[in-house]
Chains A and B, each alone.
Chain A
Amino acid sequence: LAKTTQPISMDSYEGQEVNITCSHNNIATNDYITWYQQFPSQGPRFIIQGYKTKVTNEVASLFIPADRKSSTLSLPRVSLSDTAVYYCLVGDDRGSTLGRLYFGRGTQLTVWP
């Protein structure tokens, strides 16, 4: 399973765009990249998933360069409610092995007014 490295914490202000980068140098050919979000005392929530290039949904964008050794989660115009821990997961079968998800420490994003 590919190991991921993310910053431990990031700070931003309301209305700014936030980019969280995840390194996964040992990503395998079959691996997808998945991001989850977790608020305090709540379960993780799926944000976005991708394999290559760019994926966008109503919440975020995911940028994956050609070598796929890193990925960047982009949150446009963050608000206070985006304060949460963001996890980057990499693995086969779309981010899991037999459905199992491997969570790292994640990135604590704090949005200030």
Chain B
Amino acid sequence: EPEVTQTPSHQVTQMGQEVILRCVPISNHLYFYWYRQILGQKVEFLVSFYNNEISEKSEIFDDQFSVERPDGSNFTLKIRSTKLEDSAMYFCASSDDKNTEAFFGQGTRLTVV
């Protein structure tokens, strides 16, 4: 079964540092998403990406965040200057259409110290 893969599985970074979280969506999918889940909290939408541009973003996705699809397979989330409150699980997801089920990756646990 095809799957979304994310790397690294766990990243520890110092406050103020930049981090890049990587995702390889399912190969024939066209819609890509990032979600995050702070420990014990709900899964929260960050951003959706289609046709090489952001199609929607939440209020969480401020200027510190950016997404990129640098080549035909990877989809990255960059946090420019991490804060303690950015510590969370970050999930990448993809779907072949905005109306169909989204497939989620296993997540990257980001710990900001």
* A103/B42 contact (C-beta < 8 A), A94-B99, A96-B98, A96-B99 known: yes
Interface of A is mostly: loop
CB of A41 within 8 A of CB of B89, answer: yes
Q: Which of A41, A42, A43 has the most CB atoms of chain B within a 10 A radius of its CB?
A: A43
Chain-B contact segment, one of A21-29, A44-52, A58-66: A44-52
**For residue A101, which residues in chain B have a CB less than 8 angstroms away from its CB?**
33, 35, 43, 45, 102
CB of A45 within 8 A of CB of B104, answer: yes
* A38/B43 contact (C-beta < 8 A), A43-B107, A93-B99 known: yes
**For residue A43, which residues in chain B have a CB less than 8 angstroms away from its CB?**
4, 91, 93, 104-107
Within 8 A of A (CB), among B79-113: 89, 91, 93, 95, 98-107, 109
Count of chain B residues with a beta carbon within 8 Å of a chain A beta carbon: 28
Contact with B along A88-110 (1 / 0, CB 8 A): 00000110101111111110000
**For residue A99, which residues in chain B have a CB less than 8 angstroms away from its CB?**
31, 33, 48, 50, 55-56, 95, 98-99, 102
**For residue B31, which residues in chain A have a CB less than 8 angstroms away from its CB?**
99
Interface of B is mostly: strand
CB of B45 within 8 A of CB of A46, answer: no
Q: In whole Å, how far is B25's beta carbon from the nearest beta carbon of chain A? A: 12
CB of A100 within 8 A of CB of B48, answer: yes
* A94/B104 contact (C-beta < 8 A), A99-B95, A103-B43 known: no
**For residue B56, which residues in chain A have a CB less than 8 angstroms away from its CB?**
98-100
- Which of A's residues lie within 8 Å of B, judged by CB? 34, 38, 41-46, 49, 87, 93-94, 96, 98-106
